[in-house]
Structure 1
Amino acid sequence: MQKRIVIVGAGPAGLVTCKALLSSSTPVHEFLPIILEQEDDIGGTFRYRSYENSNLVSSKQLTSFSDFRLPLDHPDHLTLEEYVEYLRAYCKKFRLNELIQLGTKVTNISRDRTTGEHEVSYVRKLPGSDQWESTPRVIRAQYVAICSGLHVTPAVPDIPGIQSVLQRDDTEVTPAVYHSHEYKVRDQLAGRRVLILGTGETGMDLAYEAAKAKAKEVVLCTRGGFLSFPKALNDFEVFGFKFESKTPLPIDTLITNLAETAYVHPWVAASHIRWFISDFVIKRVLWLLTGTQAGCNQWVGELEPERLGRAYVFLNKSHKAMPYINRPFRTRPAVPDYLSRYIDPPEDSPPRTSFAVDLAPFPTHFNPDGRAVFPVLPKRKDSMRLEHLRVHEGREVRPDTVIFATGYRQEFGFLDPASEYGTPADADVRNIVKSGDESVAFIGFVRPGVGAIPPIAEMQAMFWISLIKGQVRQPLPPPHYHLLVKETARIKYGVDHSTYMSTLAKDIGAAPSLWELYKEYGLHVLICYCFGAAFTTFYRLVGPFRSPTAAHIVKTEIWETITRRGILGNLFMGVIPMAFYLTLNAAAYVFEKIGRLCGLVHEE
C-alpha cells in the first residue's frame, strides 16, 4: 500500500529520515517520501548558522550515518563546510536530491477529520526572487515527519536598557547588538569591547574568536556555570613525562557498550547508578590530572554541586577559550602541577598577565550610558563565585558589541492547533510521537549530554518506521535515558546519548546479543561491540535494519577507533568499567531472582 510521507526540513534529520524510508519500503509498506525545505540549499543549521573557523564538536565516528562513512585518514572533527559537503554526498549516493523541493516553505499542516490524512500547505519561492507565492499549494499525506531542527528561531532575552549600547557615540567602531546566528567572520570582533551572553558551545567559540581577533575586551556571561571538556583529549604530563598523541581521542567515542548500555538490569537502569558512579570517578581523575574537578582543567565558571555531572547537563566541548578564561584563576601549587598537568595548546597559553576572557553573570540591565549592571548574587559557602567578584570590584563594563549566544526556541506555527498535533514536548512515545498518533513524528528534537543529534535522528527514524510497520515491542519499558533536571529547568529535552540509542535499538529488535554477534560475525566484531560506543552501525548488524556494510565498518573504522586508545586506555576506560558494571548488574539479577523466589518481587 502506497503511503505518502511529507518531511519538513532538509537538514541531517530530514535527509536520514528520507533515506531510511526509501530503504525500508516494501510492497506492503510502500513509502513515498518528499522533503520540503524553505532554504535554497540542504544542511539546515550546519549550512545557515555556520561561521568562520567553526567545527563540529562531535566526532566523525559518531556523527556519520551508519552506512555512509568518512575515510579513515580524514580528521576526526569536520568543519561545518565539510559536513555540509558530506550531506551533499549522502544525497547523491542514495539519490535523495530528486525528492527534495528547495525554496518551499510549509505554511500549514492540518488533519482531514474524515480520512485522517494530513493536508500540507506550502508556498514556493518565486524564481529569481526572495518573494513567495501568494497562493498555497497542498499535498495530502498519510504521514508527516517534522525535521525542522532545534536551532531555527533565535531566543533573545529581554534585557532592559540594551538599546543604550547602540546609542553610544563615544566609540571608534559602530556599536552592534545581535544574535549569534548573525556572526560570520572574526573581523566582526576586531578592536571591539565584546559582551557575549551565554556559555554554550557557540558562546565559547565566540569568546575564543574575539580573543584571537584582538578585541579590546571580552566579557562572557553565564547563567549558572558550565561543564567544560575538550572535544578530544589533549596532552598530559605526569612526573614531567609528556604523553602526546598525534591523533587525540574524541571523548564521545570513549564510552563502552557492555554493561553500560548492553546487558543492563532494569533496576540498575532505573537508578541511574551508572551515571553517578562514573561522575564520581571522573571528578577524582580530573582532580588528580588537572587540579580541579569542575571540568577538564576548568578553574572558574563551575556548576553548582547538585548539577555537576553527566546526569544533569550538556557537556560543553568547545574548549578553545578555556586557557583565556582560566588565566587569572589557575592557582595549582607547583608540586601537584609537576606530578600531573593538563597541557593547553601553546599558542593559547601566554602568561597570566596577558589578555584574558572575563566571566560574569548575566546583566540585569544597562544604564543609559551603556554600562552593564550585574546582579549581586547570594554567597556560596564563604565567598561569591570568583568570576562574579571581578565585575563587582569597581570594574566598568561598557561594551560596544553585545552578542546573544542564547540559543534558539522551538516554534511550530505551521501546525494547525485544531488538529492537536502538539509539539516535541508532547511526544511521549520515546520523544518521537504522541500517544495514539503515530502518523506524525518529531525527529531530531532531543539533545544528548555527550553525543550528536544526526545519529540519534537516524535511530529515531528507524524506530518510527518500525512503529508504522507494527514491529516495535509492546509494552514499551519505562524510559531511563532523560537527563535529570528540575521542573524549572529551561531545557528538558536532554538525553544520555548511549542509553537513548540502546533503548531505541532494543525496542525495534536491533540490539544484538553477544552470542548472536559471535555466532554470525566472530570474535572481532564482538570485541568491537563490547568496547565501542553506541555507534548506529552496531544496530544494523542484526534486526530489521540489517546492513550488508555494517560488519566491514565495524572491523575497520570502529576497530581503529578502539585500538587508538592503546592498551592502558582500553584497560582503564574499557576492561575495568565493564568488569565493575557487569558485577553490579549480575548482583541486581541475583537479588531479583531471590526476591521472586521469596515472593518479595512480583512481575510488572
Structure 2
Amino acid sequence: MKVVIVGAGPSGLVTAKSLLENVDANFPFDPIILEQEDDIGGTFRYRSYENANLVSSKQLTSFSDFRLPLSHPDHLTLEEYVEYLRDYSNHFKLTERIHLNSKVINVARHAGGHVVSYVTRDSRNSEWNSEANTIHTPYIALCTGLHVVPSWPLIPGIEHVIAANESSKTPVTFHSSEYKKRSQLQGKRVMILGTGETGMDVAYEAAKAGAKEVVLCSRAGFLSFPKALNDFEVLGLRFDSSRPGVPIDSLITNLAETAYVHPWVASTHIRWFVSDFVIKRLLWVLTGTQAGCNQWVGELEPERLGRAYVFLNKSHKAMPYINRPYRNRAWYLDYLSRYIDPAEDSPPQTDFAVDLAPFPTQFLPNGCAVFTASKRKDYIRMKDRDVRPELVIYATGYTQEFGYLDKEGGYPTPGEANVRNIVREGDETVAFIGFVRPGVGAIPPIAEMQSFFWISLLKGQVRQPIPPPHYHLLVKETARIKYGVDHSTYMSTLAKDIGAAPGIWEIWREYGTHVLVCYCFGAAFTTFYRLVGPYKSASAPTIIKTELWDTVTRRGAIGNFVMGVIPMAFYLMLNAIALGLGIMWAMVGGRVE
C-alpha cells in the first residue's frame, strides 16, 4: 500500500516513520519520500544562516521516542538539528525510502487513488530530466512545510533604492531566505522588513557585523520573550545564563490547562485570557513593561496582546539594541527586580542601537523611506529621520503554493483541511502534515501527532463525532496568517481524538506517582501521549522520569508553585464550576458541547 510523502523535512520523516510502525494486515503501509533537494532537512537546511539556533527547546522539538542526551544544551543550532534528523532517518531505516533530487510536478486522481508524477535531477549537470516517473498510490501526505516560497510585499518606489545603489557589487534587495552570513551586512545601512524571529535574528547579526545603520520595520508590533527564562535579578538574587534556564515553551502545565478541560471552559478560551492578565502584571513587576519581556517599544495593540492572538517572538537577542532609546525605569524598581541584558550587548561595550520603525509606505526618488504615520513611539522618533538604506532585506515570511495538484482533481489546500487542519472531510486520502504554526511551541512534534491522527483516521479509530476545535489563535477575518494554533491545546485535542490522552488514575496505576506528577506539571510533550493508546511506547516512562522530569524540577520549588500549583488550582476550580453548571443544565434538558 504505497504512501507518497512529499518533502524530507521533519514532517515528512516522522510521517514515514509513523506509517512504518503502524503497518497491519489491513493497512500494509509502504511509504516513499520524494524530496526535490539533494539532502534532507527542508527549511532547517536550505534556509538556514550563520549563528542560527532553534528557538524551541530540545525537550519539545525532539520526536517522542528519539531524544537528545540530557547533557545537550536545550537549544540546538540548525546544523545540529539537521544532524539530529539524519540520525533519526538512519536509526529508523528511513534513508532507503527517501528519493532525493525528485521533484513532484503533478498529482492527479486516478482509479480510486492518485497518480504522482515526478522528475529527477541529472547529477552531471544539475538539470531536471524531461521524462517523468509515475507512482500510483491510495494515499498522499504533503509535508512541504510553511516556509518554502518567499513572500514579497510590494513597496512603491523600491526601484529608487536599487537605482541609488546601482554601483553596489552585491544585491541591494533580497529575501531573508537568501541571507547566509554577517559579511552580507557589514558596513551597510541596512533596513529589515518584518519583526518575526528571522527579522530579529538578522537585526542582531547586522549590529554585530558592524553595519553603519540598522532599521527594523514592523507592521503592527510583536510580542517578545526570550527562549529560556534566566537573566533575572530579584531582590539581589540573580538567575543568570551561567545556570540552565527554563525553556519558555515548557512552562504551560497540563493539569486543568490542556488536560481535563470542560467544553465550556475550552470554548470561551478563558484560560488564555486569565494567563495573559497575570503574565502582563508579572512582566511589569519583573521588567517594567507589559508589552513583552523587557520590551519597551514595538508593542502590539492592546486587543492583540497575549497568547490568544499572536506568535510569540522568541528571538530576543536584538532587544538590548532595540530598547536603548526607549528604556526608562526608576533605579529603585530596578533594584527590586530587573532583566539582565547580556554583557556583550550592553553599554559601555557598545552604544549602537537598532532603530525600530513602522513599515515603509514608499521610497522617494532619492531613496529615502516614508513610514506609516501613527501614534506609535517608533514613528514619533523616526518620522523626521532621513533613512536611505543601502540594503533592504525582506524578512516578510513565506506563502504556500501547490501548483502540482491537478486543478481538475478538486484537491484541497491546507486552509480547506477542516478536519483538525489535516484533511478535508470526505477526502481523507490527502493529508497536510506540518501546516499549522503554534503560538508558542514547535512544528515537528505537532507533525508527529498529526501523523498519528491521520493514521487513526484512515483506520477508522478516531472518536466520532469529532468535537469542535478550540485551539485556533484568535485572529481577525482579514488576517494574513490563519493557521495559528495554541500548541498545548492542539496537541491535547489530537491526543483525545485518537485515545492517547492518559487519565490521571490510569497513569498512577500503571506508572506510579513519579510519572503522574511529571505529567501534571509538564507541558504538552508528545511523549506523554505515548503512555497509553494506539501509539504506546515502551521508552516513554524512562524519558518522562529523566529528561522531562529534569525540565520540571529545574523551575525550582518557587517556580513550580507560581507556574504550576497556583494556575492548576485556579483552573481546576474553574472547571469544577463549569462541570456543576453543566450538570444542572443537563438536568433541565440542555446539551453540553
Deviation track 1:375-395 (CA, whole Å, cap 9, x = no partner) reads 223xxxxxx111111221x21
Deviation at 1:353, TM superposition (A): 8.4
1:290 correspondence with 2:292: no
Amino acid at match of 1:602: R
SS of the equivalent of 1:320 reads coil
1:317 counterpart residue number: 314
1:602 counterpart residue number: 591
Deviation at 1:418, TM superposition (A): 1.1
* Structure 1 unpaired stretches of 5+: 378-383
2:11 paired residue among 10, 13, 24: 13
Amino acid at match of 2:160: S
Relative to structure 1, the CA distance from residue 324 to residue 266 in structure 2 (aligned partners, 3 Å threshold; closer, same or farther) is same
Identity over aligned pairs, percent: 70
Deviation track 1:188-243 (CA, whole Å, cap 9, x = no partner) reads 10100000000000000000000000100000000000000000012212223323
Separation in 2, partners of 1:554, 1:240: 34
1:240 counterpart residue number: 236
Amino acid at match of 1:94: F
Separation in 1, partners of 2:298, 2:116: 46
1:516 counterpart residue number: 506
Asked if the contact 1:107/1:121 (under 8 Å) is kept, the reply is yes
SS of the equivalent of 1:310 reads coil
1:255 correspondence with 2:246: no
Asked if the contact 1:237/1:341 (under 8 Å) is kept, the reply is yes
Separation in 2, partners of 1:327, 1:333: 15
Separation in 1, partners of 2:166, 2:470: 55
Separation in 2, partners of 1:589, 1:228: 36
Asked if the contact 2:187/2:211 (under 8 Å) is kept, the reply is yes
Where does 1:100-119 land on structure 2 (aligned, <5 Å)?
100-112=98-110, 115-119=111-115
1:123 counterpart residue number: 119
Separation in 2, partners of 1:175, 1:106: 31
1:388 counterpart residue number: 379
Separation in 2, partners of 1:236, 1:32: 51
SS of the equivalent of 2:450 reads helix
1:537 paired residue among 523, 527, 530: 527
SS of the equivalent of 1:330 reads coil
Where does 1:397-416 land on structure 2 (aligned, <5 Å)?
397-416=387-406
2:32 counterpart residue number: 34
SS of the equivalent of 2:13 reads helix
Where does 1:64-75 land on structure 2 (aligned, <5 Å)?
64-75=62-73
Separation in 1, partners of 2:271, 2:165: 56
Deviation track 1:45-70 (CA, whole Å, cap 9, x = no partner) reads 00000000000000000000000000
1:154 counterpart residue number: 150
Separation in 2, partners of 1:414, 1:490: 23
Q: CA RMSD in A?
A: 1.3
1:559 correspondence with 2:555: no
Deviation at 1:168, TM superposition (A): 2.1
Separation in 2, partners of 1:580, 1:361: 40
2:80 counterpart residue number: 82
Separation in 2, partners of 1:590, 1:488: 38
SS of the equivalent of 1:138 reads strand
Q: 4+ residue runs of structure 1 moved beyond 3 angstroms?
A: 169-175
1:341 correspondence with 2:338: yes
Deviation at 1:602, TM superposition (A): 2.9
Deviation track 1:238-273 (CA, whole Å, cap 9, x = no partner) reads 223323351011100111000011110000000000
Separation in 2, partners of 1:233, 1:528: 20
Amino acid at match of 1:542: V
1:467 paired residue among 448, 457, 466: 457
1:216 counterpart residue number: 212
Asked if the contact 2:165/2:390 (under 8 Å) is kept, the reply is no
Separation in 1, partners of 2:577, 2:269: 16
TM-score normalized with structure 2 length: 0.98
SS of the equivalent of 1:30 reads coil
Relative to structure 1, the CA distance from residue 437 to residue 521 in structure 2 (aligned partners, 3 Å threshold; closer, same or farther) is same
SS of the equivalent of 2:229 reads coil
Asked if the contact 1:165/1:175 (under 8 Å) is kept, the reply is no
1:440 counterpart residue number: 430
Deviation at 1:85, TM superposition (A): 0.1
Deviation at 1:167, TM superposition (A): 1.8
Amino acid at match of 1:498: S
Deviation track 1:120-160 (CA, whole Å, cap 9, x = no partner) reads 00000012222111121110000000000100000011112
Separation in 2, partners of 1:464, 1:547: 18
Aligned length: 592
Separation in 2, partners of 1:313, 1:579: 26
Amino acid at match of 1:300: V
SS of the equivalent of 1:167 reads helix
Separation in 1, partners of 2:62, 2:458: 25
Asked if the contact 1:529/1:538 (under 8 Å) is kept, the reply is yes
Amino acid at match of 2:245: P
Separation in 1, partners of 2:476, 2:28: 43
Asked if the contact 1:446/1:495 (under 8 Å) is kept, the reply is yes
Deviation at 1:173, TM superposition (A): 6.6
Amino acid at match of 2:174: Y
1:454 correspondence with 2:451: no
Where does 1:163-202 land on structure 2 (aligned, <5 Å)?
163-169=159-165, 174=170, 176-202=172-198
